[in-house]
Structure 1
Amino acid sequence: MDRIDRKILRTVQDDGKLTNLQLAEKINLSPTATAERLKRLTRDGFILGYQAMLSPEKLDLGMLVYVEVKLDRTTPDVFDEFARAIRKADEVMECHMVAGGFDYLIKARVQGMETYRAFLSDVILSLPGIRETHTYAVMEEIKNTDKLPV
């Protein structure tokens, strides 16, 4: 990976809808060389895909919550069952197994507090092995990005 590859990654991360010609112009490279590099970066797994960013507010999903989850047992079968179940929950945007005072950190989007209460009881607390949860409702998003420093 050289400086041109990094420039390509920064540029497509900023605007994934650029045509190859537009990208080539932005990075000052020929369209053919740009297409070859982009193809290689994708093939080598640096570029995982492209997606549109949607407005949670316009889709009536304005409430962002983080939920700490502690399990009653930390055995492979409980971890596997929890992971399978959480992948099916549409409200869950991210779920990470973490080290520290709890087992999982969940990021979810819901309509509002009433919807969150239903989500907590119907989805989270119905998951296998749940011992305890702590919820943090986001009052203001200060920074929200998926961009990686390249």
Structure 2
Amino acid sequence: MLDDSDRRILRHMQAEPEMPAADLAERAGVTSSTLARRLDRMRSAGVLRGVRGVINWPALGYEVEVSLRITLDKTQGRAFDDFIEGARAVPEVIEIQTFLGQVDVRLSVIARDMPHYQQVYRDRVLTLPHITDIEALMHVARLKTDETLPL
């Protein structure tokens, strides 16, 4: 699906996402119009899902991050759907992952401090439907965050 030019474009985009289009075209060895066509094609094909801002949560005062591993009552037919719908409505939940196995869902929850986390946990998380078990893991350090692919 992707040729060498597409891979070159993606490599340079991953390395410098804020690079102006003209510079990207030059580094990738294509014209600006070719770059635009290829980017449009990759967006249409779902290869490029969009551009986003990456926020440094601690810089905004969110000092606590907790990973909650949750087991749901799978005897309830809508357990996953109901739970995920509720979790999406909690502003402090910044990530939701689902799994096969003993743990069904993992939530990443951010808070300004421990009292704020306790409030979110008691008032928002524990009221989510179909929870049978929760394990909380306090985030200590993020050692690697990398969404780049070896293209």
TM-score after normalising by structure 2:
0.90
- Aligned twin of 1:115: 116
- Give the match for residue 65 of structure 2: 64
Identity %: 27
Aligned-pair distance for 1:74?
A: 4.2
CA distance in 2, matches of 1:136, 1:146: 23
2:4 corresponds to which residue? 3
Amino acid at match of 2:54: M
Distance 2:75 2:66 in 1: 24
Q: Secondary structure at the match of 2:59?
A: coil
Tell me how far apart the structure 2 counterparts of residues 44 and 88 of structure 1 sit (CA, whole Å). Answer: 30
- Where 1:54 maps in the other structure, the secondary structure is coil
C-alpha change, 1:117 and 1:149, in structure 2 (3 Å) is farther
Equivalent position amino acid for 1:61 in 2: Y
- Aligned residue-pair number: 150
Amino acid at match of 2:123: D
Match of 1:50 in 2: 51
CA RMSD of superposed structures (Å) = 1.6
Question: Who is 2:130 aligned against?
Answer: 129
The 5-angstrom pairing of residues 18-57 of structure 1 reads: 18-57=19-58
Q: Assess, with a 3 A threshold, how the Cα gap between structure 1 residues 149 and 111 changes in structure 2: closer, same or farther.
A: farther
When the two structures are superposed, what TM-score results if normalisation uses the length of structure 1?
0.91
User: How far apart are the structure 1 equivalents of 2:113 and 2:102?
Assistant: 27
